[in-house]
Structure 1
Amino acid sequence: MSALEDPLEIGGLRLPNRLYRAPLLECAGNGPDAVDTLIRELEPAAAAGAGLVCQGATIVREEGGCAAPGMTSVADPEFVARLARLTDAIHDHGGRIFVQLEHGGLRSMETWHAEYRREHPELRQLAVSRPPRVLRALDRLGFLSYDPEVLTTEAVYDLAADFGRAAASAVEAGYDGVHIAGANMGLVQQFLSPFYNRRDDEFADGVRFLSVVHDEIRARAGDVALMAKVPAETEAPPFVRRRLGADDAVEICARLDEIGYDAVVPVTASTFWDMSIVRGEFPERAWRDDRFRSGYAAAFGGRWRAAAVAAANRLEALAYDFEPGWNADLARRVRERVSIPVLLEGGIRDHEQIDRLVGEACDAVGMGRPFYAEPRLPARILDSEDAGALCENCNNCTVPQATGARGVCRTPAVLAERGELDRAGAYELPGDAETGAREE
């Protein structure tokens, strides 16, 4: 039996295996079809055998803080109660589901999305401190727009309480765990990062914020399984002098273990929202797709500014080439320091690779973008030691999300191969023939 098939406990919650769907953008929003959209996006992974499904980043406040179009807010308990249909669907397949909680802070759409800024002139970014100098320069040049509300000490406590309230509503709706989005340049990373955090109060130590969030969640949601993503800002450009190193990330994970978090997900990252989190090829096809050109212009403030963003994207693709299991070394170091499970994401693509990593560098592995290409991917990975994801790491699934488009694979060769595998029954589990469960 493969290590992948071994069960795993996170905070007393038993996962049936060690493969999970990592958080992705579902672009479901909060409209009347939001729950149906989330079920469509997330249920196939559980139906195909994933031990855990992580719903992508959800925002803990009703207004502001969305880092991309279509993100779902979980600030309204009445809306979250409707998500019981989603958690029931996951549980019906024997799976577990975590909700990822986030606030975008300086990365929010009110900073970078030109059309959104025009439509919501009243919104200000939440900021840990005054924006760093390089970001203020981009503001002066007109590429970004900053009018930040620097959080007072009292306001930080209020924000932590919002995380606790969202977690409590999620538990009431049947979620099995909470995942704090501590990377991808969101507000939690901004607390942790010396690049962003220049405070002079108790929250000058960014781990203090995660400690208060922990206490709020425990007070309001009980002993729900709780984990956090933790960044090492080792991929930041050389001109960024103040950053989190790998040693810092290991130490943060150790402190979260002491505080009472049940698992950690260490990742290498940048101080900016760039391709360090989605390594691979430059998404040429997505940038040239006529279906998205007007959306890019609306997001980035015009056709020429969109072209400038595309050019920067091309340069980033050279700097952040795809590397299998690119967070494995960091996860290995963390695993030597902590007593809680260490989850690994980033460049995990096949069963053989997973077997090498589980038990040595990590305790469970998550895949993200491959699920855009194969929503029922676990059925193949769990069934064969030779199986690997079809994903080509081309990133044509991700860039259109800036326009509000769904995260789906748009690579013809991959889609053709998926169709052949589907027709051959590769995405079926034992018993599927009786229930008629097939990939849509």
Structure 2
Amino acid sequence: MPPAVPDAPDVLAPARLGPLTLRNRIVKAATFEGATPDGLVTDRLIDYHRAPAAGGVGMTTVAYLAVAPEGRTERRQIWMRPEAVPGLRRLTDAVHAEGAAVSAQIGHAGPVANAASNRLPALAPTRRFSPLGMRTTRAATASDVERIVRAHGEAARLALDAGFDAVEVHMGHNYFTSAFLSPRLNRRKDRYGGSLANRASVARAAARAVRDAVGDRLAVTAKLNMDDGVRGGTRIDDSLRLARWLQDDGTVDALELTAGSSLLNPMYLFRGDAPVRDFAATFPQPVRSVVRALGGRFLIDYPYEEAYLLDSARRFRAELDLPLILLGGIADLATARRAMAEGFDFVAMGRALLREPDLVDRYRAGTSTTSLCVHCNRCVPTIYSGTRCVLVTPEPPPRG
């Protein structure tokens, strides 16, 4: 374990993130809400983010706002366009009224998009079969890449218009920019394939488009994969080089460090129980039976432990000057304080805040130091019916 940082900051005290001052160093991580059946903001989505804001987080993150219609993981997601701005403004106003900041996670799903649901081709660096839409992806042309990069900037401008305080650029989980970085998924022979510099150029260009669009008016962060968790995928050495390039480019104010592949190994991010039966129950027959029989090959059971991404993240902390947001198994106050002691600037929490949206206020009041989350991961399949902790809310709430 590296030595502790002298005079480590208080995780519950105010902190700067680019042009922002957050009331504390705890961020509600982006977790798809399953609350936009028509692809626009609903009262349920607003309530979803109002709850952790009222419960004390420094910032909550809206997920997932696609930069283009084919960039949604499925058709019920919001994609950034002028029609979405009034509803997003209602959401940001509601969060601000509770004293928290709010970030817009933007990106393009690339090969993680469900082409059957979107009724649009899923775009990947190179053509491959996708189990998510049971269709073959289309290799993105150079014109597609340029359009999607521009769309990141346009989405960031719309986020600014909608009252967001920050933009998080999605560079993880084998979404579009992450897929281009992956040697396994990117077999191109043009300027976007081959060398690491070529494969990383899409992520760098997307970050540049966002920074150019918003300047210093919004904080800009990136959610960056450290490790895809799959053979032949992106590993830490390559990801760390991209992180250094982003730092040198001056396009981001912080990096949120993540792992895993939504396309090939999703549970590598979550750790804990793999809820195969719950996932199967979200599908009609005969797909349900197939998922129950074969889902264990895709939904791998990784043991849960607190701060399970910390070992990998330490390399980034040792070699970067950028502020870093530690994600993965942050459920207890002691773990958050440990992250501060090791030099991380913020922590991001997901499942723990689904179970207890007021957990940060409980920390502050001294009435709790440990989350009630049991890491069963049964919340993960609820993205299809309204993301929630099933131990608290067994049935989906009425649609707003």
TM range (shorter): 0.7 to 0.9
Deviations 1:223-242 (A, max 9, x none): 22111111122622xxx2x2
The answer as to 2:268 corresponding to 1:276 is yes
Q: Within 2, Cα distance between the matches of 1:188 and 1:309?
A: 29
In the alignment, which of 40, 45, 56 is matched to residue 38 of structure 1?
45
**Deviation at 1:338?**
1.9
What is the one-letter code of the residue matched to 1:104? Answer: A
Q: In the alignment, which of 183, 200, 206 is matched to residue 207 of structure 1?
A: 200
2:147 match: 158
Is the alpha carbon distance of 1:386 and 1:16 closer, same or farther for their aligned partners in structure 2, counting shifts above 3 Å?
A: same
Q: Tell me the equivalent position of 1:187.
A: 176
Select which of 192, 212, 220 maps to 2:213. 220
RMSD value, Cα? 2.5
2:292 corresponds in structure 1 to 307
Residue 155 of structure 1: how far off its partner (Å)? 1.8
Do the aligned partners of 1:35 and 1:85 also contact (CA within 8 Å) in 2?
Answer: no
The 8 Å contact of residues 36 and 42 in structure 2, kept in 1 or not, is answered as no
| Equivalent AA in structure 2 for residue 217 of structure 1 | V
Percent identity of paired positions between Structure 1 and Structure 2: 28
Of stretches 248-257 and 345-354 in structure 1, the one that deviates more from structure 2 is 248-257
Q: 1:191 to 1:385 in 2, by over 3 A?
A: farther
1:87 and 1:159 map into 2 onto residues whose CA distance is 25
The C-alpha deviation readout for 1:210-254, integer Å capped at 9, x for no partner, is 222123223332322111111122622xxx2x2222222222211
Q: How does 1:289-300 map to 2 (within 5 A)?
A: 293=281, 295-297=282-284
Q: Deviations over 1:337-362 (max 9, x none)?
A: 22221001111111111111114141
Deviates further, 348-357 or 213-222:
213-222
Alignment of 1:100-249 (within 5 A): 100-110=105-115, 117=116, 122-131=119-128, 136=129, 145-204=134-193, 205-223=198-216, 224-233=218-227, 235-236=229-230, 240=231, 242-249=232-239
- Could you tell me which of 278, 281, 290 is aligned with 1:286? 278
Q: Which residue of the partner structure matches residue 267 of structure 1?
A: 258
Matches within 5 A, 1:313-324: 316-317=300-301, 320-324=302-306
Task: Indicate the residue corresponding to 2:5 in structure 1.
Answer: none
Aligned-pair CA distance for 1:268: 3.0
Instruction: Provide the aligned length of Structure 1 versus Structure 2.
Output: 380
Question: Which segment drifts farther, 201-210 or 174-183?
Answer: 201-210
C-alpha contact 1:160 1:212 (8 A) present in aligned 2: yes
Report the more deviating stretch, 382-391 or 4-13. 382-391
2:385 alignment partner in structure 1: 405
Q: List runs of 5+ in structure 2 lacking aligned partners.
A: 1-7, 395-400
Cα deviation, residue 89, structure 1: 1.4
The residue that corresponds to 2:240 in the other structure is: 250
Moved more, 44-53 or 304-313: 304-313
Give 1:377's aligned residue. Answer: 359
Residue 343 of structure 2 is aligned to residue 336 of structure 1:
no
Q: What is the SS of the residue equivalent to 1:308? A: helix
Q: TM-score, normalised by structure 1?
A: 0.80
Higher helix residue share: 1
CA distance in 1, matches of 2:239, 2:39: 40
For 1:277 and 1:373, the matched residues in 2 are separated by 18
The answer to whether the Cα contact below 8 Å between 1:343 and 1:362 also exists between their aligned partners in 2 is yes
Letter in 2 for 1:208: S
Q: Tell me the distance in 1 between the aligned counterparts of 2:112 and 2:40.
A: 26
Aligned equivalents of 1:9, 1:304: Cα separation in 2: 50
After superposition, give the CA deviation of every residue in 1:133-191 in whole Å (9 maximum; x if it has no partner): xxx4x77xxx8633332122222111011111111001011101110111122112101
| Structure 2 residue aligned with 1:56 | 63
State the distance in 1 between where 2:40 and 2:317 align. 41
Q: Secondary structure at the match of 2:268?
A: coil
- Paired with 1:284 and 1:302, the residues of 2 have a C-alpha distance of 13
Displacement of 1:269: 2.2
Is the 1:351–1:382 Cα contact (8 Å) retained in structure 2?
no
1:92 equivalent to 2:97? Answer yes
- The yes-or-no answer on 1:71 pairing with 2:58 is no
What TM-score do the two structures reach when normalised by structure 2?
0.87
Q: Measure the CA separation in 1 of the matches of 2:314 and 2:353.
A: 25
2:397: which partner in 1?
Answer: none
Structure 1's consecutive aligned runs of 4 or more residues displaced over 4 angstroms after TM superposition are none
2:378 is matched with 396
Output the CA distance in 1 between the equivalents of 2:345 and 2:149. 28
- 2:54 pairs with one of 20, 23, 47: 47
Distance in 2, Cα, partners of 1:73 & 1:183: 18
Distance 1:33 1:253, change over 3 A: closer
User: Alpha-carbon deviations, 1:355-409, whole Å to 9, x = none?
Assistant: 11114141111110122212222211233285111110001111243xx211111
- Equivalent residue of 1:54, what SS? strand
The amino acid across from 2:227 in the alignment is E
In the alignment, residue 387 of structure 1 is paired with which amino acid?
T
Shift of 1:284: 6.3
Conservation of the 8 A alpha-carbon contact between 1:19 and 1:52: yes
Residues in 1 aligned to 2:306 and 2:381: alpha-carbon distance in whole angstroms: 21
- 8 Å contact 2:67–2:152 — kept in the other structure? yes
1:91 and 1:305 map into 2 onto residues whose CA distance is 45
Name which of structure 1's ranges 45-54 and 375-384 shifts more when overlaid on structure 2: 375-384
Task: Give deviations 1:325-348, integer Å, cap 9, x for gaps.
Answer: 111122222122222210011111
User: Deviation of residue 255 (structure 1)?
Assistant: 1.2
Contact 2:9–2:340 (8 Å) recurs in 1: no
Residue 309 of structure 1 and its aligned partner are, at CA, apart by 4.2
Distance 1:247 1:256 in 2: 14
In 2: Cα distance, 1:309 partner to 1:368 partner: 27
1:367 aligns with 2:331: no
Q: Distance in 1 between matches of 2:137 and 2:296?
A: 28
What SS class does the counterpart of residue 358 from structure 1 fall into?
Answer: helix
